[in-house]
Chain A
Amino acid sequence: MSYPLHIVVCAGIVPDPLQTLEPVTTPAGPGLKNEMVLPAVLDPWAASALYEAADLAAKNPGSKVWLVSLGPKAKLQQVMMTVAQKVAFELVPIDGPIGGFPDAHSTAAVLAETIAALPGLDRGKLLLFGGWESATRGAGVTLQLVGERLGIADQFQGVDQIDLHEDGSFEVLERVEGGKHQVSVCAGAPAVLGWATGSLAEPRNNPQVGMANMRTIMPALQKAKAAKLDANGLRYVSVSLPKQQRETRVVKDRSPDEIARELAEWIGEEN
C-alpha cells in the first residue's frame, strides 16, 4: 500500500565547489568574485533532499515532486541541464539574485508565497524538503522560516532517513552529536525536513528523464517571476572564507609512519 505525497524541495544553486571562491564587496553587498560566470551546481545538501524526495515519491505512486529554486534563471537553466537528468520533478523557478547573502526572512517569504500558490498542492500531503546546510553561506534558518510561514509545526533538521508507514506517519532519523541519530515518529504530513546527506547515491544522468522533465522546465523558466529580496536592514561587517592553511615542505628520508604521525599532530594542533 502506498501513501501519495506532495513533496516540495527548496534548493538553491551555488558555485561549483571546485571553483576558487573569493569574497568581494559588490554594490549589492557581499558576494563572490566572478560568481555569475562561475559554473554552478545545485546546492549539494538540497540535492540530497531532491534525490530522497524522488526516491520517496517513486515508492509511493501518485506522489509528486516540485523543485522550488530561487536564483538567476539563466544560471538555473544551465544547472537544470544536469539536475533534470537525475530524477523526475516539476521545476518552479523564481528569478532572483545569486549568492548566499540575501536576508533569510525575505528569501523565506518569497519561497513560502510561491509554494502556497502551487496549483494542485495538497497541504495535507505536503513534505517540505530542503538542505540542512548550504555550500554557500548558510543562514541556517531559511527552511524553518518557510515552514513557519506555511504553518507547518513539525520540523526536523539534519535528516538522514525517513521511513513512511502505511498510515502516513513516518519515522525520521536526525543527526545528533557523536555520530548518532535521534529517532522521531511524526503523525504525518505536513512536515519540514532539512536533509543532511541522506543515504542515496547521486543518480546517474539519464537524458531520457531529462527530456521528459524539460517539457515543463523550459516553459517554467521562460515564465519565471522575478523576486526582489528586501535587505530588512541586514548589513555585513565583514566576509571571509573559512581559514585555509597550506604548509608544504619537501621531506626526504622519512618513513610513511613518521610522516603520518606528524600529519596527525599537525591536524590536532588545528583543533
Chain B
Amino acid sequence: MSSMTLSDRKTMLTLPGDAVRQIQWQFADRYDLQMLVQSARGVARGAVARLVAAGERNTHEWTAGKNEMMEAFDQAGVTAAFMEPEEGGFISGPKNLALSLAAFELAWVDGGAATASLASFLALAPIHERGTPEQSRHYKQISAPAQPGEDRKPWRGAFALTEPIPYVGVDTGMLSGKIRVAAWKDGEEPWVQVDKRGRFITGIAFANFVTAAVNSDDERIKGSCVVILEEGDEGVFDRGTPTKKLVHQLSSTGDPVFNLKVPASRIVGGYTVKDGVIVPNFNHGEIIEAVFRRTRVPVGVMTAAKLLSAVEPVIRYQRGRFRGAEGAKPGSVRYEQGIQQREDALHRLVDVWATGEAAASLGFAAARLFDRLDPVEKQKTAILKERGIQGGRAEMKALRESEAKALELLSLRPGDARRAALEADPLVEFVLLDAEANVLCPATKLWNTGHGTNMLREAVSLMGGYGITEDCPGFLANKWMDAQLEATYEGPEAVQRRQLTVTMTSEIFLAQFKAWTAEMRRIASTHPGTGACTLASAMQMWQWTLNHLQKATDPAGGKLYHGQRQGVTFALADALCWLLASRCQILDVLELEARGADDPVVSEGLEGTVQFLGDLCHTQAARAAGEVARICAELVFGYNAHPSWDEEEHRSCFLTSELEELEETMPGIAAMAVDVIRADGSHPQKAGPCAGCAGSGEFLRLQSKLTACLTGSRLAKDRAAETVSKVMIPEALDYPA
C-alpha cells in the first residue's frame, strides 16, 4: 500500500460485529431475532462445522451424524423458528427475516446445513400459506420440537413439486403426479389415490410427510392441487435412492416414488364439491407461487453469507502467507503484511467483500419487505372476500383501481394533501409492496446466487492452491461449489430472469424505480462518497434503455422487448439486479450512520465503519454501473445492422474527389473524414462505414454522463483496500476447519 497517499481519516477498527449488522439489517429492536441468530450460529459453528471438518460431506447417504445435525436444529430453536408461539415456536408474526437470518448463519459454515433447515420449512410452507386452519395447526404443531413434558420426535417434511418446472420451455401445469378418486361413498369423505414420482426432493431421507403437487387424472377432480402424504399412509412411500450431488451433502436429496391412498381432506387448502366434482380451493400453481416468492429469498441470503464469511479467512491467509519462510523475519513488511503488501490482493478482496455486502443488503431488504407484505396481503384478501371477490383473475381485476391510486401516490409531492388518504388505503399499500416484492425476490435469488458464485470463485483464488483443498479455512471450496446449486434449486436462473422480465415492466414498479432514482440523487447530495450518484445515472440509463427497447425493432421489424426474445429481456433483468443490490447496500449504510450513534457499542468507531462500508458501496456502485452500461450499450446498438460497403449504405461516405474539393473551403476536413471511398471504389479495411448515432444521441449522452460519474470510485476502492490491510481480525476462526 506504499504507493497510495490518502488523507487522514477514520478507519474501521474491527470486522463488523453483531451490533453493526443488527442496525444495518434492521433487527436491532428484535431480540427474538437476535437470539435466533446466536442460536443458529452456535449450531453452525459447532455441530455443523465439526461434521464438515470430519468429512461428513463425503457421502451422499443420510447418516447418523447428519441426523444429529437436525436434532441440534431442534434443540437450538432453529426448527421452531417457522412456528407461532402457540404452535411451539417463539417468534410471533411474519418470519421471512427470521428464516433468512437463520439461513445466513448456517450458510456461513455450510450451505447444505442451511438447506436442510429450510427444506422442512419449504414442506410446511404450502400448508402455512394456503392450508386450512386445521391443516396449518396440525402439521406445524407436530413439526415443532417437543415441548417440556412431551415425549415425541418432531415430524419433518419434504416438498415434492418436481421437475420440470414452470416458465422455461415447459408448461407450468406439467406435473409428474396424478390424483384420482379411490373411493367415494355417499355422505362420506372421498378418498383419493395419489401417484407421484419426485425428482431432486430435498429432505426425503427423513421426511415423515410430503406436500406433493399433482394433476387430476379423474373427471371427478378438477385441475391440480397440492396434497399431503404421510409415511404411514396405505400404499407405497418409497424414498428412492439418494441423489449423487457433488454439493450440499449435508442435506438429503432423492427421487422418491409414492402411490398412496389418502383422505381428500389432505388436499392443501381444502376443497368444495360442485356437481359431483371435487374442486380444490387452490390449484398447485396458486400455492407454489405463494410459497416460492418467499422461500427463494433465504437461498439468496445464503450465498451472501458465504461471501462475507470468506473475508476473515482470506485476510488471515494473506497476512500470514510468508510467515515461517526464511526471508520473512518478524517486523518486516513481508512478515507482517504478507500478500497484503500487494494492491491486487487487496482490491480483489474488496470486490468480494463489496459483493457480499450488496447481496446481504438485497436479500435482507427482500425478507423485510415480505414481512411487511404478509399482513397486508391477508388484509387485502379479507377486504376483497368481503366484497365477494376471490381468486387470481378476479382479484387482479378488482385491484386495477388501487393500482391507479398507487401510481397517483407515487406521483404526489411530499406534503400533498392527497397523500395521507392514499397511504392509509390497505389495497394501495398492498399493490405497492406486491410490485416491489415481485421484483426483489427473483432479483435476490438470481443475482446473489449467480454473481455470488462467480465471486466465490474469486475468493477461492485469493487463497491460492490452499483454496481448493479440504484444509482451506472457512471451507471456501465447498462454499463455491455449493453456490452453483443455490443458483439452481427453487427455480434456476432462467426462471428468475423470466419472472423479472414480466414484473420489472409493471407500471407500478417502474414508477417506484423512477422514485428510487431520484432518491439516489438526493442521497448523493448529502453523501457523495457512497456512489449514489453513479448508481442514479446507471438507473437512469437502464430505464431509458428499457423504454427504448420496448418500442424498438430489429432490422427485420421484429419487436426487441418480447417474451421470446430473451437475449434482450434476460439481459435487462440481469442489469436491473446489479442496480437493486447496490441501492439496498447504500440504504443499509445510511441506516447504520443514522442509528449507529445511538448505540454505545456501535458509536465507538462508527465514523470509520461507515466510511469503509460507504467505500464498499461506491466500489460496488461503480461495478454495477459498468455492467449496466455494457449491457445497455449492447442492447441499444447490438440489434442495429452494421452498415456495409454496398452502394446503398456507403452513400453517406465521402469520395476522395469530394474531399479534395472541400479541403479548399474547409482546410483539415480530409483528416477528419474516416469513411472515404477512393476513386477506384476501394475503401478502408473494416466491416463497413462506421455506424451512425442517429436516434441514439440521448443514450450516448447518458453513457457519457455515466462514464464521468465513475469519478472517485477507484479512490474509494483504494481507501477500502487500505482498511482491509489494517482492520483487526480475531486470532483464529471461530469454527473448526
Contact = CB atoms under 8 A, between A and B. Distances in A.
B344 interface: no
A82 interface: yes
B730 A205 contact: no
Given A38-B14, A72-B601, A207 B35 contact: yes
B729 A207 contact: no
Contacts of B18: 39, 78, 81
A81 B35 contact: yes
Contact of B731 (A20, A74, A78, A210): A20
Contacts of B81: 207
A38 to B, nearest CB: 6
A194 to B, nearest CB: 27
Contact of A211 (B32, B599, B730): B32
Nearest to B600: A74
Given A38-B14, A205-B76, A218 B31 contact: yes
A204 B599 contact: no
Given A81-B35, A208-B90, A214-B31, A75 B601 contact: yes
Given A248-B323, A250-B324, A74 B601 contact: yes
A210 B35 contact: yes
Given A38-B14, A74-B19, A206 B75 contact: yes
A182 B14 CA distance: 44
B474 interface: no
Interface stretch (A29-37, A132-140, A146-154): A29-37
A204 B46 CA distance: 10
B732 interface: yes
A249 to B, nearest CB: 7
Interface in B707-737: 728-732, 734
Interface string A81-109: 11011000000000000000000000000
Contact of A85 (B13, B38, B602, B728): B38
Contacts of B35: 81-82, 84-85, 205, 207, 210-211, 214
A206 B604 contact: no
A39 B604 contact: no
Given A205-B42, A207-B32, A78 B601 contact: yes
A238 interface: no
Contacts of B13: 34, 37
Count class of interface residues, chain A: 20 to 34
A19 B730 contact: yes
Interface string B164-180: 00000000000000000
Interface string A165-178: 00000000000000
A18 interface: yes
Interface string A43-80: 00000000000000000000000000000111100100
Contacts of B75: 204, 206
B14 A81 contact: no
Nearest to B598: A74
B309 to A, nearest CB: 15
B90 A207 contact: yes
Nearest to B17: A39
B92 to A, nearest CB: 10
A85 B39 contact: yes
Contacts of B37: 81
Nearest to B31: A214
Contacts of A33: 728
Contacts of A204: 42, 72, 75-76
A34 B14 CA distance: 8
Contacts of A85: 35, 38-39, 77
Nearest to B325: A250
A176 B734 CA distance: 32
Nearest to A77: B31
B688 interface: no
Contacts of B599: 74
A248 B324 contact: yes
B506 interface: no
Interface string B306-324: 0000000000000000011
Contacts of A78: 18-19, 601
Nearest to A211: B90
Contacts of B600: 36, 72-75
B76 A19 contact: no
B36 interface: yes
Contacts of B19: 74, 78
A85 to B, nearest CB: 6
Contacts of A208: 77, 80, 90
A20 B320 CA distance: 15
Contact of B728 (A18, A34, A82, A214): A34
Nearest to B91: A207
B605 interface: yes
A218 B732 CA distance: 32
Interface of B: 13-14, 17-19, 31-32, 34-39, 42-43, 72, 75-77, 80-81, 90, 323-325, 599-602, 604-605, 728-732, 734
13 contacts: A16-B730, A19-B14, A33-B728, A37-B13, A38-B17, A73-B600, A81-B35, A81-B37, A85-B35, A204-B76, A205-B43, A208-B77, A218-B31
The 9 closest A-B pairs by CB, nearest first: A248-B324, A207-B77, A205-B39, A74-B600, A36-B604, A82-B38, A81-B34, A210-B35, A34-B13
Interface of A: 16, 18-20, 33-34, 36-39, 72-75, 78, 81-82, 84-85, 204-208, 210-211, 214, 218, 246, 248-250
Given A36-B601, A81-B37, A246-B323, 12 more contacts: A37-B601, A72-B601, A73-B600, A78-B601, A82-B35, A85-B35, A85-B77, A207-B77, A207-B80, A211-B90, A218-B31, A248-B324
